[in-house]
Amino acid sequence: MDFKKARKMLSRLFGWLGLNICSLIIRILPEKFIYGFAKAISSLAYVFAKKQKDIAFESLKIAFGKEKSMEELDKIVRQCFDYIAKSAVELMSLMDKPQLLKRRADIVGRENLDKALLNRNGAILVSAHFGNFPLLLGRLAVEGYKTAGIMRPMRDLRVEKIFLKKRRKFGVKTIYSQPRNVCVNDTIESLRNNELVFIPIDQNFGTAGVFVNFFGRKAATATGPVIFAQRTKAALIPCFILRQEDDRHRIIFEPALDLKEGENPKETILINIQRLTDIIESYIRKYPAEWGWIHRRWKSKPS
């Protein structure tokens, strides 16, 4: 076994052990102390997670260029680390307490969701790795909506099993993004059953997607939401979850986005993925610390 592979295995082992230890601590901590615990985790991560911190600064510089000073970028990165830590402890805490989750996450624009479901074609919730988005799915499930999310499995399958169990407990269906044909079939089946399917389109999609403008630079983006909407007539609803100052959450459902037709099918997809990406960018510009800057969004380049 080479050194790089061994280091990766050790890193995942420590991550899994750390998750279990943190989960145990959160279980016995009074609720009023869990955000203080999250802050301690965040402070350690900011010091030791150098690779992730470097990626965050690199991504912010691409997005904002000279719009923001280094002091402003540093503030966003620190707050981003804080929010990630808070989201992690909330998942381990609130996802076991449905009624508490219901009280801590308010829904805005629910009428847009209900109106879309009247057509019996399901609804595609288009979003990003923005805010504590797994809580959004849990909150919908608590309200009785049949909810599924398209997700990439975590690299450490032991960690994936922990969060899969929590999603199942809430009644949130997991549709894995691979194998592709299974993902497509499961998604179409869910929409035809008038379910909600959550699809984030904010991560690098390699050569399989389309390149659209994102913060003024071309970014490889998944086309799934538009293709599924064309095939099933499901509504496209942009949605986001925002953290409030008191660590409550506000879930926002925008009005359904009507598809604009291009001169050919390829152009139709490109136009509408750009429109959805523009909405995502507008939320990130308003609430930059809510987005996951530790991902190399612009890694793939147009040929």
pLDDT tens digit sequence for 191-212: 999 999 999 999 999 888 999 9
Please check whether residue 302 lies inside any domain of the structure: no
Of residues 182 and 91, the one with the higher pLDDT is: 182
Q: How many domains does the chain have?
A: 1
At 60, is the pLDDT very low, low, confident or very high (cuts 50, 70, 90)? very high
In a domain, 301, yes or no: no
Look at 89 and 154; give whichever has higher pLDDT.
89
Domain assignment of residue 299, yes or no: no
Which pLDDT belongs to residue 15? 60
Which pLDDT does position 13 carry in this prediction? 55
How confident is residue 218, by pLDDT bands cut at 50, 70 and 90? Answer: very high
What does the alpha-carbon distance between residue 6 and residue 12 come to, in Å, rounded to a whole number?
Answer: 10
Mean pLDDT of 60-72: 94
- Helix, strand, coil share of the chain (percent; to 5): 60, 15, 25
Q: Is 47 helix (H, G, I), strand (E, B) or coil?
A: helix
What residue type is 299 in one-letter code? K
Residue 129 gets which letter from DSSP?
S
In a domain, 120, yes or no: yes
Domain that holds residue 117: 3-290
Let me know if residue 303 belongs to a domain.
no
User: 136 CB contacts (<8 Å, ≥6 apart)?
Assistant: 105, 127, 198, 239, 241, 251
**Residue 280 placed within a domain:** yes
Q: Cα separation of 174 and 142, whole Å? A: 16
pLDDT of res. 2: 63
Between residues 281 and 302, the one the model is more confident about? 281
Mean pLDDT lowest among 34-48, 90-104, 173-187, 270-284: 90-104
User: Is pLDDT at 25 greater than 90 in this prediction?
Assistant: no
